[in-house]
Amino acid sequence: MKRSIATVLGVAMAASMALAGCGDDDSAEADGPVTLSLSGWSLATTPEFKTLADGFHAANPDVTVSVKEYDAANYDTQMIADLAAGSAPDVYVQKNLKNFYTYQNGKQLLDVSDVAAQLGDKAGGIKNYAVDGKTYAVPYRNDGWVLYYNKALFDQAKIAYPDGSWTWDTYAATSKQLTAALRKAGSKALGDYQHTWESTSLAFAAAQTPGANPESGDFAYLKPYYLRSLDLQKSGAQVSFGTATTNKLTYQAQFGKQDAAMMTMGTWYIATLRSQQEKGDADKFEWGIAPAPQFDASTAGTSKTPVTFGDPTGLGINPAISKAKIAAAKKFLAYAAGAPGAKALAGIGITPADTSAVTADFFALKGVPTDELSKFAFGTHDIRPENPVSKHTAGLGNVLKDLHSGVLSGSKDIDAAIAEAQTRAKNEVLNK
């Protein structure tokens, strides 16, 4: 990625920039045992951090990885503060791409181009961490969005399962058919559930629409995606945005408790649904995954590569790390983002960055669907970033978040909302 770097950090980040010089020479190695600190969040319910730490230690007994827990909702705020205070971990997670620009531009990430060269393109999403020919983080997981469907509800409605060839028009029509058929059969389930997150509309539209570019300031490409959602809400095939937000509906319950026959969601939900069905937190029913519906037929079907979106989750090295630990930290990054880490993550149902190494292992897990379309959807896709790396990403996100909630709640007309967002984007973000 070729771009100029401009200072965008506040005082807190600027205070920690002096620490960056500590990583200039990464040739030194520790003479004895090494302990690396690693950031994580929600450790009681998010096992990936301990899984990677334990797996790496088993392969490298002289290196122990200790996980420091952060609050999931305030992760980046807390991490920025710790970097400024000099108390951040040696290795820290890039939770999504939204704040990667801030960390990299503030010189808070060590150059790990040598690790990236070892991994190559198998680590899905690795190119997103490259700036001016250097790589500053590597992905260990890369969740793309797919279509989850309840086979039992499809059977009850006597409607054929998704076959991988669906466009959004097919999806919408099927959702209405499912709702009508399930009502007739005495079920209260709706055809689909669309969660309240902006990404369910904004990210699909940006990823799939030819020529779409949020940084152009032209948001006309969003209109078909919002009109479709509004139509599904109006028809009763999809719970309304207002109901979902007011009642704080969770996507896990909507699909897991069989209130919806279909749902688009990231591949991380595979592990969650599998676990919830085992524990009884979700109903027991057969389900599968299919590629997300497509913009048009040009990318639909199992002979094509479906387009979807998702942000990788990466690992970077704090430049304030002790020189004696750098070699071990880079070795940990290579493990986590490579085939060994991928296999460890797949063993707990997590989608790793290198899916090619683990498809067989992943689908051997109890509770994971084994049909060919589910395997295709898991391993074959063009995942485009939910948050393109740019100094404008956060600002545009705030503008488009208002458009999203205004349109889906019914408080704003789609054309008026797009016009307002374009004006705001120009004045508040793009011209700054």
145-308 and 11-142+312-357 share a CATH fold: yes
CA distance 88 to 91: 8
145-308 belongs to which CATH class? alpha beta
Q: Which residue has the tokens 């002790």?
A: 322
Q: Which of 332, 338, 336 is nearest to 318 (CA)?
A: 332
pLDDT of residue 360: 85
pTM beyond 0.95: no
Dist. CA 77–CA 55, nearest whole Å: 29
Locus of tokens 């060994």: 340
Domain locations along the chain? 11-142+312-357, 145-308
Pairing relation of β-strands 307-309 and 382-384? parallel
- pLDDT per residue, tens digit, the chain (432 aa), is 333 223 333 333 333 333 333 434 454 566 789 999 999 999 987 889 999 999 999 999 999 999 999 999 899 999 999 999 999 999 999 998 988 999 999 999 999 999 999 998 888 899 999 999 999 999 999 999 999 999 999 999 999 999 999 999 999 999 999 999 999 999 999 999 999 999 999 999 999 999 999 999 999 999 999 999 999 999 999 999 999 999 999 999 999 999 999 999 999 899 889 989 999 999 999 999 999 999 999 999 999 999 999 999 999 999 999 999 999 999 999 999 999 999 999 998 888 998 887 888 889 989 999 999 999 999 899 999 998 888 899 899 999 999 999 999 999 999 999 999 999 999 999 998
pLDDT value at residue 349: 83
Domain 11-142+312-357 sits in which CATH superfamily? Answer: Periplasmic binding protein-like II (3.40.190.10)
Give the Cα separation of 399 and 193 in Å (integer).
Answer: 24
Number of helices and strands (H, E) in the chain? Answer: 18, 12
For residue 145, is it left (φ>0), alpha (ψ between -120 and 50) or beta? beta
Comparing CA positions, the residue from 317, 303, 69, 265 lying closest to residue 165 is 303
